[in-house]
Structures are given as C-alpha cells and as structure tokens.
Amino acid sequence: MKIAEWDKTYNTDSAFNGQMNLRQAFAEMSDLPTFSGAFKHATLWAGKREDRDNFDIHWLDSDMMNLIGTGAGIYDVNLAGDVKTNLAIYGRNFNDIDAMENVEYNNMTGAANTYIQNYTLSLNNKLGPWQWMVNGLYSKDNDKRINDGLATDKAASKGFNTMLAYHGDTFYGLRPGLSKTVLLYGQALGAEVRGPGSDGYLIDNAWTVKFASYGITSLADRLSLAPLIVAQSSNSRYLDGDRYDWVTLNGRVIQELNQNFALQYEASYQYMDIDPKGFNGNRPARGSYYKLTFAPTFKMHNVTDFFERPEIRFFATWMNWDKALDSYSTTDTFGSAGYHSGGTLIFGAQLETWF
C-alpha cells in the first residue's frame, strides 16, 4: 500500500489545505504450486498500482515509463527461452467531458457529468537488458471531447504506443556504472508516451517520438557523474498542425567530503520550439531555459550513490530563460505576473526517502 499527500501549508495540521490520496493498494500471488510450465514462476496481481517495471530519471523528476492505474495482470510468464512476458490491463479516468474547457461540447449536446474511462492493454517483454513494450488504449465516448484553439478538433478514442529500452550494467560500455536508454513512439490516444492513458485530449492525428538516456559512473573514489539527454517531438497533439518539440541536457556531479556529507552540482539546459495553435489560449514560443544548482547533502552512508536514501539537501538554484518564452502563456508559469525572464535565485531544503 502507498499513500501520498499533496500539501500547500507549512502547518502540521494540514487537513484543510492538503489532499490525501491512495497511490497503491494491490495484492500479488507468486510461485503458486499449481502453476507449471511457462507460468511456474509467474506472479498474479490485481488492484491499484504503479507498474512494477516503471522507471524514471529520478533527479530530473521525469518518467521514462509510468504505467499506472487500477487493473490486473500477470508478471514473468516464460513463453520462450529467456524471454519473460508481462500482460496487464489498467483502467484510468480522464477529466469529465463537460469541464469548462469543453464548453463547445456542452453547448451542442447539453451533456452533464460525462465521465470518461480509459483502458490500456499492456504487453511487456524482457530479454536480458532489453525491454519491449506495446500498449493499446481504448476510451469509449472520448471522441466527443472537443479541443478549442484557432480551430477545433475532437479527441481520440483509441491509440497505441510502444517502447524499446536498454538497461545497461555499465556506463555505455566505457567504464563501470549503469545506463538506461529508451525510445518511445505513440499515435492518437497513445501519443502521451511516457504515461499511457494519462491524457484524454490527444486527437486522432497526434503522434509523438521520444528519446531518453542517462548514465551513472564513478570518476574517482569520491566523485560520481550522471549525464542525461531527453528529446521529444510531438505533432498534431491537441489541434491539427500543432507542434511541441524540445530537448533537455543535464548533468549532476556528487563530490564526497566524508562518509555522511557530499556536495552536489547540477546544470540543466532545455530548448523548446512550441506552436500550440491557440490550445488553452497558449501562443507559439521558441527559446532556451537554463538552470544551475549547488546542494550540500547529508546521507547515512554511500553519499556518492545517486539512489541512496534518506537524503537531506540544502540547495541554491539559479535559473533563467529566453524572453521569447514569456509570451507562451498568461496563465501558466511562463508569462504569469512577477515570473519572467531575467534570472531568479531560489534557496531551500529537501528531504527524500524511500518507503
């Protein structure tokens, strides 16, 4: 079971300001004595969960694959040789179709409380370091959702996406460490490739291709390095002819000073070329974003291990972006009053731990 709380107050009594939600509650059964052959070591599961084989770029807070929802499935079916196969179905809900951003649909149909469900059928295969996933998505009546901008388009009711990943046990074959590389592609309702079934506004012509790769290695006894690249191109996503293209470069270095204390240095760069065609009132924008972070960090041990927790960080972050990005939105971060290009410095403290 996993419970999470979203909170916007510093008070210890946050009942009136936060939101508690149940992230996971599921049961698993494995190595059942009546299972044999391909199913001998398989694991059955059912409930609400984050898929066991999800993975991300943790320090970037960016999912490489985030398959979640309520459903059932089976892991580690050994159909052929060393290939292990997972089969699952996940259900999720999209936003109500009569929300304010769908006033055109309401005006035409008079619909109320049209609650849209999505189902994702997932086939995930693993052979050694390789992983290949295919997801098919279906959402009845989602094509009644209308996206509004410089033109209008109906949302998709079905789609698919696929992922090819390599989980390396070295730093790209060059030195000790690890690396993960993933290539994803999706169409229509599957064009949100990192989170299948999480976006109900994608249209039939939508397509996305995404590439991501990161590696971790020790440069010396007290120094670790983790570079990464993430790039995505998504077209005709919410309105026919729109464009969302971007690439992110990032690097983090951990320098150990003693067994409990380290200094972390991080640099990020992102280039964006976006033309939303007026969707949600947003405007075309093209430019770059920059960020530098310095973070003295305390851990119980293994301070140069990027995944060792618990961790307490004190950080200072400077960030800036091109003025051209200020005009993208009047309601989102870019373009909002008091938050514009020119550089800003942020200080804070952060706790991370695994449960």
Residue 257 lies in a domain: yes
How remote is the C-alpha of 115 from its chain's centroid?
24
Residue 178 lies in a domain: no
Binned at pLDDT 50, 70 and 90, residue 149 comes out as confident
pLDDT score of 104 more than 70: no
Range of the domain at 283: 248-355
Residue 350 lies in a domain: yes
Using alpha carbons only, give the angle 95, 99, 101 rounded to the nearest 5 degrees.
Answer: 105
% of the chain surpassing 70 pLDDT: 88
Distance (Å, whole) CA 178 – CA 167: 8
Distance (Å, whole) CA 295 – CA 320: 18
Question: Which of 18-27, 62-71, 162-171, 217-226 bottoms out in mean pLDDT, i.e. has the lowest?
Answer: 18-27
Residue 276 lies in a domain: yes
Residue 283 lies in a domain: yes
Residue 165 lies in a domain: no
**Residue 101 region by backbone torsions, left for phi larger than 0, else alpha for psi between -120 and 50, else beta:** alpha
Nearest by Cα to 74 from 93, 52, 54: 52
Distance (Å, whole) CA 128 – CA 106: 51
The pLDDT of residue 337: 61
- Mean pLDDT along residues 295-324: 95
Nearest by Cα to 146 from 117, 109, 119: 109
The pLDDT of residue 234: 98
180-208 pLDDT, tens digit each: 999 999 999 999 999 999 999 999 999 99
The pLDDT of residue 112: 53
The pLDDT of residue 327: 84
Distance (Å, whole) CA 202 – CA 109: 21
Domain count, the chain: 1
Determine whether 182 is exposed, middle or buried from the number of CB atoms within 10 Å of its CB (0-12, 13-18, 19+).
Answer: buried
Residue 330 lies in a domain: yes
Residue 84 lies in a domain: no
Which residues lie closer than 8 Å to 69 by C-beta, 6 or more apart? Answer: 48, 49, 90, 91, 92, 120, 197
